[in-house]
Structures are given as structure tokens and as C-alpha cells.
């Protein structure tokens, strides 16, 4: 089929920027506002297909619709994902005053196969992230993937390898706290510029989403859900859900939304909220190099909600991820990073230095160094350096700018992986109820063969992750 001129122009524009960036030549563009989809001619609009439009995915798709063309969405649950997305009437393609709804698919490969799609968004359950992300990179797509980026330490290396190979595409991780200028970015600069002195201890309070279920009954798989496909690489368990409903979904279930409370698919609050707060803490500490990891992790004082043996739950009808934990992560230079499910300071990050301390969360920053207005000495140049040479703006706007201008987004894969490393190591220590040691250079658990076996997981046949 003959391409029209506007389509050729759009693709050449995107291809030229990618080639220049890959060659190490990043052209200078004066900072400009990322325009909304309505303001751009169709020839200049990026096109996105979003995979996983349940809870967070629907919110992401709505936000992206104001910035580009969301031409397709995919979900293995036609009611929870696709029907709700279409019913929102907020996702699709702007054409004048009309919003054209996206195409809908059950199988994500349908999106990857479309040549007219530039970007793939991913907000599936955690155990699907890396497989889809790598296959999207292989298909030549830019990727926006919700946190937590990975399920295991092995997946950390797999996604790193893929980004090394397919470095022409932009990959933004959905740790949007990095884009909160007046909160986490300000706290990061205060730490980096020495306004608290030498940092001795950091506490990440990841209070939230800490549920206890009790036994959840088996239930018929909803007609709208492909349970086998949803399960993916994980072991197959019967579908479970309560008859009681809340906000249009079961009050408790083994499945959509509630997957985060099962170690088979996720890591509980450690990876759910920890993916945000540990990431923001390491960003502030400037400890995001691949070899800057910890040497010891102790989650032995944490409580498991159901009986475990050798790190595996003995029952399958209850949430099994720990909701009561205190994990101490130690670095070679004496720094301690602590993950807790509850603290007096509440959800957020507490930075303790020898000259003061601050606490930051999504609502405010407090602490004497902040109240003394030390942060007011920071300049826009300071923030621009923190944002890798780009202006401070929304997380998705930064992603789109990076696609058009080159360079790395504010939350790239490489700088995100150290936080995933800590989250996964913490989860392993909790599950085994003992301390573990880590070689941050060799990327391996040392002195404990059983703990080391948790660095990867068996995957069901047919759900292998590409090794690139």
C-alpha cells in the first residue's frame, strides 16, 4: 500500500532523531513546551498502543491521550480492561472536537505487529513487564513501562541487555516521583548538594497496600478473563475471588489489582511502593550506577502472613506477601537504607544526615534544613542537571520530549535497576527469614546457595523471555 506524504514525513522525523542519538550526537533544541495532541497536525503525532488497561493502565492511557494518539489498547480481561477503557470516553485519537476510540485487542502481539505504532505502554501485572518490554524493543518501539520494572534479579539483567542492544528506542519507567519538582526532585538536590551533611541513614516507609485476606474461595473464572494467559510465566493456580464486590471488582481475589499481594506475580509493598521510594532515595543519594549496590540485606525480623517452607508459601488461598517488615540494607561505606511498613514519619522517605534531616512524601517536605529555606538557593540549572539537561515537566511529557530530542529520560532503565535490586534482595531475605550477602559488582548472592536460587524463577513453557 502506498504511504501518504505526511506518514513518510512523520517516520523520517522520528527515525532521524533516533539515529543521531544512537550515534552519540544529540542535537540541541531550545526547551519548548510539549504540545498536546490537539495542537499537533496528524503527521507529527506519535502513536501509542497501551497494553494492560486495568487500574493504573487506564489512568496512563487517559493521560497519554492528551499528548499523543492512543490508537490501540490491549487487555486479557475484556470487562476489567477494554470495556472500562472504552466506557471512559477519554482514551483514543483527537480529530478536531471528536475523540476516536482506540482499536482493542486481547493479544499484545497485535500491537507489536503494527507498523504505525511508535510507542508501547505497559501496565500489566508485574510478571508480564519484562517479556512484553523486550519484545516491544525488538519490534522497534519506544517503551513506557509502569513500575516495578522487573520481577526478579535475573530480569534486571535481561532488560539491561535489551536496552544495550536496542538503544535507539527511548525507555521510560513509570516512577513518576522523579518528575515531582517541588517534592522529590527538591529533596534529591538538597541531599546531593550537602544541605544535610553526610547522609548516614535513609528510611523508606512504604505503608500502603498492605492487605490481609484470610482464605479466599475458589470462583468461576469470569467469562471476560483469559485466566491462563493472565497467569503467563507464573505457576497455574485456581482463580479465586470473593462474592463481595467493591468498585466493580471482587473485594479480594487472586487476579486483577490484587496480584501485588502474591509473591508468584509481584513482591508486595516492597516492590509496589518500594519501587517508588527506594528509587527516589537512590536518586537523591546518587547511587544508581550498576556497581553501587549494597553488601548485606537483613529482612529476618519481618513477618510472613501465611506458613512458608524454604521460601515458598504452603497455602495458595491467601495473600502471601509480607505486610509487616523491617529490612536493613547496608553499604560498604556504612550507609544504612531501611525499608519499613510503618514508621512515626508515615509513608515517605526520611534522610538523616550529620547536619540535619528531612522527610519527603507526595504531599510535602518537612525538616529544619527545608524550613530554613536552604532549598531556595537552588537554581533552575541545578534542576536541569538533575533532569539530564531537560526542563522539569511531567513524567510523560519528559518521555515524549526525549523521543523527539534524544538523550535519556528522567527515569531510564539503567538508573532504575539498582532500586529493583534492593527490592528483590529484600523480598528474598524476607521469604527465607534470614540475612543475605550480595556482591554488587558480580551481581550475585554469596554464601547461600538456596538464597541464590531465588535470583531467577522457572517460567512456564511458552512464556520464555527473549535473551538478546
145-201 pLDDT per residue, tens: 999 999 999 999 999 999 999 999 999 999 999 999 999 999 999 999 999 999 999
Degrees, nearest 5: CA angle 367-179-262: 90
Q: Which of 39-53, 113-127, 328-342, 424-438 has the lowest mean pLDDT?
A: 39-53
**Nearest by Cα to 281 from 344, 392, 204, 200:** 204
List residues bridging with 365 in a β-sheet.
360
**pLDDT, tens digit, for every residue of 68-100?**
999 999 999 999 999 999 999 999 999 999 999
**pLDDT, tens digit, for every residue of 230-276?**
999 999 999 999 999 988 889 999 999 999 999 999 999 999 999 99
Q: Span 114-119, mean pLDDT?
A: 98
Beta carbons of 450 and 432 less than 8 angstroms apart: yes
397: helix, strand or coil: helix
Average pLDDT score, the chain = 91
> What is the 3 state secondary structure string of 104-159?
EECCCHHHHCCCCCCEEEECCCHHHHHHHHHHHHHCCCEEEECCCCCCCHHHHHHH
Please give the grid coordinates belonging to residue 34.
510539549
**pLDDT, tens digit, for every residue of 407-464?**
999 999 999 999 999 999 999 999 999 999 999 999 999 999 999 999 999 999 999 9
Name the pLDDT band for 302 (thresholds 50, 70, 90): very high
State the burial class of residue 97 (Cβ atoms within 10 Å of its Cβ: 0-12, 13-18, 19+).
Answer: exposed
pTM: 0.91
Percent of the chain with pLDDT over 70: 90
**Nearest by Cα to 133 from 116, 115, 153, 111:** 111
Please give the grid coordinates belonging to residue 433.
527469614
Percent of the chain with pLDDT over 90: 87
Exposure b/e, 51-70, CB count within 10 A at least 16 = b: bbbbbebbebbbbbbebbbb
Amino acid at each position: 500500500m502506498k504511504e501518504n506524504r505526511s506518514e513518510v514525513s512523520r517516520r523520517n522525523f522520528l527515525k532521524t532523531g533516533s539515529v543521531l542519538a544512537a550515534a552519540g550526537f544529540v542535537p540541541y533544541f531550545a526547551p519548548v513546551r510539549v504540545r498536546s495532541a490537539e495542537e499537533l497536525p496528524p503527521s507529527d503525532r506519535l502513536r501509542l498502543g497501551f497494553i494492560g488497561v486495568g487500574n493504573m493502565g487506564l489512568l496512563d492511557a487517559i493521560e497519554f491521550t492528551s499528548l499523543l494518539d492512543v490508537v490501540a489498547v490491549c487487555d486479557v480481561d475484556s470487562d476489567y480492561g477494554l470495556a472500562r477503557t472504552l466506557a471512559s470516553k477519554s482514551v483514543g485519537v483527537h480529530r478536531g472536537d471528536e475523540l476516536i476510540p482506540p482499536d482493542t485487542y486481547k493479544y499484545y502481539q497485535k500491537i507489536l505487529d503494527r507498523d504505525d505504532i511508535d510507542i508501547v505502554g505497559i501496565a500489566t501485572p508485574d510478571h508480564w513487564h519484562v517479556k512484553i518490554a523486550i519484545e516491544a524493543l525488538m519490534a522497534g518501539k519506544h517503551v513506557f513501562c509502569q513500575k516495578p520494572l522487573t520481577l526478579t534479579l535475573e530480569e534486571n539483567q535481561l532488560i539491561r541487555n535489551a536496552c544495550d542492544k536496542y538503544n535507539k528506542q527511548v525507555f521510560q519507567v513509570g516512577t513518576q516521583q522523579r518528575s515531582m519538582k517541588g517534592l522529590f526532585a527538591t529533596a534529591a538536590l538538597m541531599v546531593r548538594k550537602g544541605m544535610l551533611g553526610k547522609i548516614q541513614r535513609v528510611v523508606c516507609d512504604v505503608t500502603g497496600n498492605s492487605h490481609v485476606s484470610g482464605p479466599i474461595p475458589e470462583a468461576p473464572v469470569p467469562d471476560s478473563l483469559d485466566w491462563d494467559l493472565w497467569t503467563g510465566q507464573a505457576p497455574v493456580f485456581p482463580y479465586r475471588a470473593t462474592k463481595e464486590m467493591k468498585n466493580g471488582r471482587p473485594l479480594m481475589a487472586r487476579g486483577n489489582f490484587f496480584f501485588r499481594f502474591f509473591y508468584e506475580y509481584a513482591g508486595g509493598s516492597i516492590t509496589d511502593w518500594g519501587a517508588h521510594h527506594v528509587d527516589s532515595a537512590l536518586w537523591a543519594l546518587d547511587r544508581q550506577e550498576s556497581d553501587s549496590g549494597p553488601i548485606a540485606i537483613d529482612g529476618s525480623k519481618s513477618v510472613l502472613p501465611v506458613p512458608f517452607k524454604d521460601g515458598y508459601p504452603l497455602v495458595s488461598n491467601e495473600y502471601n506477601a509480607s505486610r509487616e517488615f523491617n529490612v536493613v540494607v547496608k553499604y560498604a561505606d556504612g550507609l544504612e537504607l531501611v525499608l519499613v511498613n510503618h514508621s512515626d514519619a508515615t509513608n515517605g522517605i526520611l534522610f538523616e544526615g550529620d547536619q540535619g534531616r528531612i522527610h519527603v512524601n507526595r504531599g510535602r517536605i518537612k525538616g529544619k534544613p527545608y524550613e530554613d529555606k536552604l532549598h531556595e538557593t537552588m537554581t533552575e540549572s541545578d534542576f536541569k542537571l538533575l533532569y539530564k539537561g531537560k526542563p522539569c515537566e511531567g513524567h510523560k511529557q519528559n518521555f515524549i520530549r526525549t523521543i523527539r530530542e534524544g538523550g535519556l529520560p528522567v527515569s531510564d532503565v539503567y538508573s532504575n535497576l539498582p532500586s529493583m535490586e534492593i527490592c528483590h534482595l529484600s523480598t528474598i531475605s524476607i521469604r527465607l527469614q534470614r540475612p543475605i550477602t550480595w556482591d554488587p559488582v558480580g551481581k550475585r548472592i554469596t554464601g547461600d546457595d538456596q538464597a541464590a536460587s531465588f535470583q531467577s524463577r522457572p517460567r512456564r513453557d511458552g512464556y520464555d523471555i527473549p535473551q538478546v
